[in-house]
Structure 1
């Protein structure tokens, strides 16, 4: 199938059913008439199609992902336009559930599932990074588990543009507010600010109606979930591969414990917690099960506030996870 959107139209497909709805569009299961192949079509919401920023993000998802070919990344093959000029993306149809669906059911991944799933996520992200692509929006809803035992994983949604409020970065107003409440290099050194989190939240909440709060609360604004942003992203710095190591650490933490890492009562508090506090150990959170020390150390290193103290690439993180699994396996023999 051609990867150009110039001549690709919806009449090449038969829609079978709607399978999902997201902030940017709806996803349908469809069959291509010529090949009889079952595919997924992601169609942009009609009310967003005339917004240049949203349209750029949507088309970028197709253009970036088309060039990424890896077993742990959803295969995107083409993009086109409906008769109403709504952009749509053609991709492989995945049968499975998202990691978010699993966590919503109060489930956790057991250790074999965890190691297999995140081995795949690390491999897929490493491939993207080698292709000079930083995902910037890794979170449970963008990780699909596509087999019955939750072990095989695929990364979805590469629709991140370098536009404020459309990326895994905090908008300038929010970043400035956070920076004003913490000491320079607070996120990197681990020093505590003289201003407590409680005082900071009180000050920010007193600015009701300001752009600071609106940027976090207005529906439809997408800037990356605070639950999965690195400390450096929380103060407005650009995401790099080490930022995605931290993000993966957050997702691993939640997958093992069932609880998000450093979650505040609202988005702003979560951002401040992320900047001012070290992540707790996975063994501090989950009662009733002691995680192996080898795994605890890997997750802890991924979640270091200082980017220089983390694994310096997702590939390094993947290697550390495999080594931890091998040590556990050897110990159990």
Structure 2
């Protein structure tokens, strides 16, 4: 595979392989790649660590769910989502290189392989984090989101599992969790598009995208999402990192919806007043009451509000 990936490499060769077609397995070679290790799976497709044999580097390969591949209209939506993500060029957004289709293995996306762990993993390990560490992690995420919003792109599924962290290495090669080296935001629109496509082809009613505990009030209402929606989700992540739990903890979807729409979360105990105020502003029910940008939210959370000359409109615009 060449170093210069392009949307022009996208090809579709219907019909899609049958569900009983060749299974993915370690050692399988195709299109210049060799599958090495499965690193994720679920209803939205399998993800593998793979070796790019031509480029001599590791990559991640995400297979498009087979249910989607039988429908050209759904694959067209996947292609459009890929082209949007492929165009994003930011140091904290994981690049997606190419979308291809193999006659036996089906359609797949090739993206950068990220070392390290997810923020979800770190949260399980440490339960909650100090404010300084939270802002250190979330500032590059906010910058990546603001960049995407300026390109009229909304993430729609900001959550700890979609934030990857890399740390310095100890002498034995293990991660030194005290020294953060890189933060990457992943799955820009991919998971939500796959989720919507699977729902459509399986005729399961679904009116929202995103992961429910991190969804904004407007998402629960089924309204168009924009930059403010991503900011709300980022504020939920910040709250969870600081408090050690979500703003509203319940397994009942209806109760969660009612809380998100109508209840104010409790302030985080032990957190200074200014930081709690920033959290509540980021979690405001109405979009116009939130911060103008995601980075402005993180700056306020850190206790060092961003100075802005003029009026900022990013975030108030309706995104596609």
TM bucket, shorter chain: 0.7 to 0.9
| Rounded Cα–Cα distance in structure 1 between residues aligned with 2:142 and 2:84 | 18
| Rounded Cα–Cα distance in structure 2 between residues aligned with 1:281 and 1:97 | 29
- Taking the TM superposition and a 5 Å limit, the aligned residue runs for 1:126-141 are 126-141=146-161
| Rounded Cα–Cα distance in structure 2 between residues aligned with 1:306 and 1:235 | 12
Native 8 Å contact 2:158 2:234 kept in 1:
yes
Native 8 Å contact 1:49 1:85 kept in 2:
no
Structure 1 residue 235 and structure 2 residue 221: aligned? yes
Residue 70 of structure 1 aligns to a residue in which SS? coil
Partner of 1:157: 187
Native 8 Å contact 2:149 2:227 kept in 1:
yes
TM-fit CA distance, 1:54: 5.3
- Structure 1 residues 162 and 22: CA distance shift in structure 2, 3 A: closer
Native 8 Å contact 1:137 1:160 kept in 2:
no
Which sections of structure 1, spanning at least 5 residues, go unmatched?
172-210, 284-289, 327-333
Native 8 Å contact 2:142 2:294 kept in 1:
yes
| Rounded Cα–Cα distance in structure 2 between residues aligned with 1:49 and 1:40 | 20
Partner of 1:111: 131
Partner of 2:38: 18
Native 8 Å contact 2:44 2:191 kept in 1:
no
- Structure 1 residues 298 and 223: CA distance shift in structure 2, 3 A: same
| Rounded Cα–Cα distance in structure 1 between residues aligned with 2:289 and 2:302 | 20
- Structure 1 residues 281 and 307: CA distance shift in structure 2, 3 A: same
TM-fit CA distance, 1:142: 1.0
| Rounded Cα–Cα distance in structure 2 between residues aligned with 1:6 and 1:297 | 47
- Structure 1 residues 55 and 271: CA distance shift in structure 2, 3 A: farther
| Rounded Cα–Cα distance in structure 2 between residues aligned with 1:323 and 1:317 | 10
TM-score, structure 1 normalization: 0.72
Q: CA RMSD in A?
A: 3.1
Partner of 1:40: 60
- How many residues align? The count is 272
Partner of 1:249: 235
Post-superposition, which runs of at least 4 consecutive aligned residues in structure 1 deviate over 4 A? 51-54, 160-165
- Structure 1 residues 166 and 47: CA distance shift in structure 2, 3 A: closer
| Rounded Cα–Cα distance in structure 2 between residues aligned with 1:14 and 1:162 | 27
Residue 9 of structure 2 aligns to a residue in which SS? coil
Partner of 2:93: 73
Residue 156 of structure 2 aligns to a residue in which SS? coil
Deviation by residue 1:54-113 (Cα, 9 ceiling, x = unmatched): 535543442222111111110111111122262211111101111222233462233332
Which of the two has greater helix per residue? 1
Structure 1 residue 301 and structure 2 residue 275: aligned? no
Structure 1 residue 5 and structure 2 residue 9: aligned? yes
| Rounded Cα–Cα distance in structure 2 between residues aligned with 1:61 and 1:51 | 16
Native 8 Å contact 2:208 2:219 kept in 1:
no
TM-fit CA distance, 1:34: 1.7
TM-score, structure 2 normalization: 0.75
TM-fit CA distance, 1:51: 4.2
Residue 31 of structure 2 aligns to a residue in which SS? helix
| Rounded Cα–Cα distance in structure 2 between residues aligned with 1:145 and 1:89 | 21
Structure 1 residue 83 and structure 2 residue 113: aligned? no
- Structure 1 residues 22 and 128: CA distance shift in structure 2, 3 A: farther
Native 8 Å contact 2:296 2:305 kept in 1:
no
- Taking the TM superposition and a 5 Å limit, the aligned residue runs for 1:183-332 are 215=205, 223-283=209-269, 290-324=270-304
